[in-house]
Every structure is written in structure tokens, then in C-alpha cells.
Structure 1
């Protein structure tokens, strides 16, 4: 039996030569020598079954994670996926995929809930497990079936946005270096990272356009950003401040905006429960209230599907007015209170 330990790992490792001559060297996922020996024997028996009996090979969670990360490098959320996978390591490291059952998943959920986190945090971990197992089953054919993964209910939050008056109050109390960034965010609806990372090479003032490259966009698709007159003024005021980045402070690009100065300004402006990302919600809400159609807002904001912007639909009812008026015109037939034109004229006064 080839069982050994490495200096860079607390676990026992195994080295096996397969029937086809392949050399397999991997961690057992345990520091217990007896358990490591058991893992070695089971793996060797499984390899014999595969070679001699044609039994479907078994794969570990670790193998699935490595392949999953390699195939999802395009995901904007891969960084958070890695965080969740590191947390899961204590439960699933060295586990065979077909050993991951409902009982184990429930114990993982219970452990996460015991950390007093919100249901959404528990669900994000469950979603990563589900994504890995579904790939293993549907794409790689490593699993015959995926156990049902239970999700916890999440409260639906209202869209948080501020009024024009509140925005004006905020701009008057913000530090000078944050003012242009907030103005630009309210004019374009760009996400925080797209504003802090905006470079001069992405700006064309002549055409009044900015570009967000695919690797900078959440949906991994390039976004053309039309610049309003106010946005152009903000950009022009930054010329000469930094060689590469549009927004800077004391000669350095601004990286962090959710600072003590930002929070202090919110308090001074009397604005509660407001994050930097809510500037994007504010921009979208103002657009809808001004009559911008949802499909146009979708394109302006770089959302992948129109469902992503439906949360703003309740802020405007102009597209329904003509249907309300149709019913009103029917009710007014034979009514001596006046014709529809007169009623509309009164309503508009």
C-alpha cells in the first residue's frame, strides 16, 4: 500500500497505479491513518470494478469542484462561489459524489443556519452545491441523479431609491471626491465597479458614449453607455486628474466608495437604509417614472433579460392609462356629466 504524508498537507495521501498504467496520486481528505487506509482500499476496489466489470467510475466532490471552477471562469460571481466552496470543504472534502444525499445536505444547511445568517446566505451555499451536482449529472454523467436541495424562503425586498430632493441633499454633504462619482452613477446607472474602474480609453466624449467591456459586465456582455449632457460635464471636469482612470483622489484611482465618509454623508442628509448600489436602483426608478419603457431600460442598464427590470414596473402606470380611459369612455355613454375630452381636461388641471 502506498500511503504517505506531505509537508504541505495535514491529510494522508495515496499513490496507486491503475490497470491501464495511469499513476493516481491524491489526498484521502483525512488525517486519520485508519480511515485513509480504508479510503485507499475502497478506491482500489472501485478501480478494479471499473476495469474488469465495466462499472461506472465514481468521482469525488473535489474532482467535481475543480472541473466546475474550470468551466465557470466566465461567471461574474465565481469569486463568491469560491468563498462558499471553501466553507463547504469541511463537510464535503474527499466525499464521493454519490454519497452526497439529502441527510448530508440537511446537516450542512443546519450548520450554516447555526451561524445565525439570513436565509439568503443559506440559499447561496445550497445553490452552489446544486450547480456542481447538476453539472456532474447532466453534463459530465458522473451521477445518475441529483438529490433534491431544499431552499429556504426569502423575503422580497422593496426597491430602495431616493427622490431628486434627497439626491440633492446628499450631493451637498458628500466629500468632493465622491460628488462626481455619485452624479455620474445617477446619470448612467452603472454599477460601483464599473464607475471606480472607468478608464479614459472607455470614453468617447465626441460621440457621448462610454463602453463597459464584457469582462467588466455582470452579464459578461459589452455595454454601450450613452452619456447625458450632465454625465459629459462630470467627465470633462475630471480631465487631467489622472492618466488612466476617470475618477481619482490625490492622484490615485478610487477603489473603495463604501467608506466612513459615505456613511457619514448619508446620516447628514437624513437618508437611511441606502447602499451605493441603490444609486443604480434610483437611476432605474427615475427612468421608469419618467416614462422610459422597460425594454429600453433593460438595454440601457445592461440587464440580461427584461425580468430583471420588472421590479421597477410598479413605479409607473402611464402605459396603462389608455386602457383605463377606454373603460371610462364606455361608462360615459349617455352620461350628461360631459364627454371624455372634458373629463381628461379636468383631470390634467
Structure 2
């Protein structure tokens, strides 16, 4: 029987032209509507088999394939899972080619109603956009994905510390956190890469360390050159662990440090009179200091393990040394030099005339 009931809901069951057994809920208690659903479904499968149409794929099919492909390669995988769970009620049973702008607008409105910022909504929209793009270009499940807009986000300035502010903060921090801050300012590593750093990732003889691909946000290995400050710090850590060696570089009371952004960190910021500053801003500080010392952007990108130049570009405005040669060329212009000379002469003559009148 093609139509049957489960409780009060009608279900459909049939064999598609390719031999596939199809069983699906019609999501209705009305038999006539269930029959219409069955007829449309059979027609879709027939067109796929006989006319070469693409089979109808649902959002949930795309989600399952996306999660399978990204499981071991995407650093934000856990966040994606959380987002997709939230989207379940809005897109779960929709065909991919039936997802339209109205659906996206409804999702935006619902998420904003939770009181979140545009940036949070955009992270959700980026996941929708990425899955639909995959379905169109890579999997060839749909001919064209609907447009997914991004909400405007305020452009925040890069928060970084001056050397004087950094010294002030270090004086207020407990020793174990101060050492981690010094290491971050010397290497630019992210919080998790510092707290999880193991001695097996350090070679002090070659003055280098490394972050494994599965520990990196970009999922690429990051070489970490160790300057004199970083090496001196590591030697101190090594000396402290002589009696009780550990696999981890940074320890507190005999245990690995799981999180650096603690109450001790926040209290030290207050005592140091430093506002609006997060642990991750230490990485911004490291990058800003590099740029101010003349490190080229492409070198900074490699040092920081960024996948593309866009993130590094945020620091470009902190140094204009690479532009000075072009500014100097304008200063050598004859027209400008002549005008400046004439202005100087005119100014000198006016000064002389004023002096004569005064006399």
C-alpha cells in the first residue's frame, strides 16, 4: 500500500524507478493531501530517472555531508554543530532548491530576537552560505543557491598595548600568568597553543617550536621561531620542572594550565589600569609591535599562521615606513619646491617690512 497511517499522520511508501525504496512522512492527517504529496514525490523520482533531472536533496542531507567532510579539517567544527542544531527547526525538512531569501530573512529575524549582535548572526549566516555553495559548486545538488546576505558589523580598532602598558600588566600578574604573557608577546601564539604547548614541540638547540596542524586554527602546521626572550623563558620553565618534570611547558601547582583568562588575569588588568583588553589582544599586541618594527606583512602572515592576508592587513596602518619613499618623491617635485620657496621668500619680505614699520 502506497499510503498508510502512523498514529494520525499519513505516510507514503513506494519503489522508485531506480529500485530505491522510498518511505517518508506526508506530515498531514488529511488523506487527500497525503495522496497529492505521494503523486508529486513519484513524479520527482520519475523525472530524475527518465528526464535526467537532479534528485531533490534536503537541507539535512547537506548538513550530514558537510559535517562528515569537515569533521577533521575545520577548527570551528564544534561551533558549526551548535549553529546547525539551532537551524534545525527552520530548515530541517526543506529541499535545498526551495530555500529562498524569505527563509534566510526569517532566520535573521529570529536570531536577532534573541538579543545577539550582528556579528553573531553573521557567523550563522556564513555556515548557511558555505553549505549552499558546496551543494551548488562541489556536490552539484542544486543549480543555484539563494543569496545569503551579511549584516553590517562595526569595524573595531585593533586593541594592543604599548611597551609601558605591557610592563605595568606584567608587574600585576601572578608569576605563572606573567610567564605565559611574556611567551605570547614573544611568539604571538594563541591562548590554547600556549596552554597546550608540550616540550616535545620545542627544540631550544635550534631556537624553534612548532604547532601541529590539528592544533592550528588554519589546520596548517605553524613554525615558531624563538627569540632570546622566549628562549630565556623556556629555560626558566625547564629549571622549575627539574624535580617534577611535565609534558607541558606551562604549569601551575603541579598541573597543566587549562585556561589563561582567569579571575587573576582580570584583576591584574584592573590594577594595571588597562581597560577593554582580552587575552587574545596579546596576539594583536605582538603583531602590532612587529609592524612598528618594520616586519613585512607577508612575513607576519607566516609567523602568525594566518591562512590569508586579510587578517594581517588590519595591522598595516600601524606603520608607514614602506610608503615614505613615495612621500619623499612628492617632496622632490619642482612645482612644490618652487611654491615652497616662493612662500618662504614672501614670508621673509613681510617680516622685513613689518620690522621697518616698527622701527
Tell me whether 1:62 sits opposite 2:65 in the alignment: no
TM-superposed deviation, 1:48: 3.8
- Structure showing greater Rg: 2
Q: Quick one: which of 295, 301, 309 aligns to 1:292?
A: 295
Match of 1:265 in 2: 268
Match of 2:190 in 1: 191
Number of matched pairs = 331
Q: What is the distance in 1 between the residues matched to 2:176 and 2:11?
A: 54
1:294–1:309 CA contact under 8 A, matched in 2: yes
TM-superposed deviation, 1:143: 1.0
**SS at the partner of 1:178?**
helix
2:185–2:282 CA contact under 8 A, matched in 1: yes
Tell me whether 1:313 sits opposite 2:316 in the alignment: yes
Q: Deviations over 1:235-268 (max 9, x none)?
A: 1122225421111212221111122121111111
TM-superposed deviation, 1:13: 8.4
Report 1:183-262 matches (<5 A): 183-239=182-238, 240=241, 242-262=245-265
Match of 1:77 in 2: 76
Match of 1:51 in 2: 49
**SS at the partner of 1:51?**
helix
| Structure-2 change in CA distance of 1:174 and 1:43 (3 Å) | farther
TM-superposed deviation, 1:196: 1.1
TM-superposed deviation, 1:321: 2.3
Q: What is the distance in 2 between the residues matched to 1:50 and 1:13?
A: 22
Q: Deviations over 1:310-331 (max 9, x none)?
A: 2111111222223333333445
Match of 2:178 in 1: 179
Q: What is the distance in 2 between the residues matched to 1:53 and 1:168?
A: 72
Give unmatched runs, 5+ long, in structure 1.
Answer: 6-10, 338-349
TM-superposed deviation, 1:129: 0.8
Match of 2:286 in 1: 283
1:212–1:224 CA contact under 8 A, matched in 2: yes
Match of 1:146 in 2: 145
Report 1:29-178 matches (<5 A): 41=38, 42-73=40-71, 74-178=73-177
Q: CA RMSD in A?
A: 2.9
Q: Give the TM-score, by structure 1 length.
A: 0.85
**SS at the partner of 2:157?**
coil
1:170–1:266 CA contact under 8 A, matched in 2: yes
TM-superposed deviation, 1:88: 0.5
2:66–2:131 CA contact under 8 A, matched in 1: yes
Q: Deviations over 1:299-343 (max 9, x none)?
A: 211122333212111111222223333333445579599xxxxxx
Report 1:318-329 matches (<5 A): 318-329=321-332
Q: What is the distance in 1 between the residues matched to 2:26 and 2:155?
A: 40
**SS at the partner of 2:237?**
coil
Q: What is the distance in 1 between the residues matched to 2:331 and 2:78?
A: 54
Q: Which structure has the highest helix share of the two?
A: 2
Match of 2:348 in 1: none
1:60–1:97 CA contact under 8 A, matched in 2: yes
1:242–1:251 CA contact under 8 A, matched in 2: no
